């Protein structure tokens, strides 16, 4: 039932009646690599729309520190709140990039020095998820 309600924004617009559960899972996992933890991008946008919005947000970044200032809404002149996510493990709150797509694109665009500067920010390397993403970013930088 749920898949039927979001099938129109899933990649390839699979027929909700015909697609197998395995195919549906692959489509959702594939889209997750692009949109990550953004429910809005996952369930309200097509993959192409999400890529366009995320690229616009990445292009609005004037300084790498802006990504982790966590300014949102009226406080932000940029779309950086679309680029990061907040996760909880127990009582600990971690911040990271919203998806591997965003991390890879920024690494390719801004290079190794960008990744190294993120590693130097306070508390960034305590985040186990971000440590893995930073390692992957170094590969693409």
Q: What are the DSSP calls for 51-87, one per residue?
A: HHHHHHHHHT-SSGGGGGS---GGG-SSSGGGTEEEE
Q: How far apart are CA 4 and CA 60, in angstroms?
A: 35
pLDDT higher than 80, residue 41: yes
The model's pLDDT over 52-65, given as tens digits with 9 standing for 90+, comes to 988 988 887 766 65
**What residues contact 86, with CB distance under 8 A and at least 6 apart?**
93, 94, 95
Q: What is the pLDDT of residue 124?
A: 66
Q: What is the pLDDT of residue 64?
A: 61
**pLDDT interval class at 120 (50, 70, 90):** confident
Adjacent-strand bridge partners of 96: 85
Token pair belonging to 117: 């500067």
Residue 8 DSSP one-character state: G
Adjacent-strand bridge partners of 93: 88
What's this model's pTM, rounded to 2 decimal places?
0.70
């Amino acid at each position: 039932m749920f898949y039927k309600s979001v099938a129109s924004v899933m990649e390839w617009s699979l027929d909700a009646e015909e697609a197998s559960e395995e195919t549906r899972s692959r489509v959702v996992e594939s889209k997750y690599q692009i949109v990550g933890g953004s429910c809005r991008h996952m369930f309200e946008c097509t993959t192409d729309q999400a890529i366009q919005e995320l690229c616009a947000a990445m292009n609005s970044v004037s300084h790498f520190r802006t990504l982790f200032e966590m300014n949102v809404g009226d406080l932000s002149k940029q779309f950086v709140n679309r680029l990061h996510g907040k996760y909880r493990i127990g009582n600990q709150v971690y911040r990271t990039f919203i998806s591997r797509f965003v991390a890879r694109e920024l690494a390719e665009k801004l290079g190794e020095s960008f990744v190294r500067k993120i590693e130097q920010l306070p508390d960034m390397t305590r985040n186990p998820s971000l440590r893995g993403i930073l390692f992957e970013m170094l590969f693409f930088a």
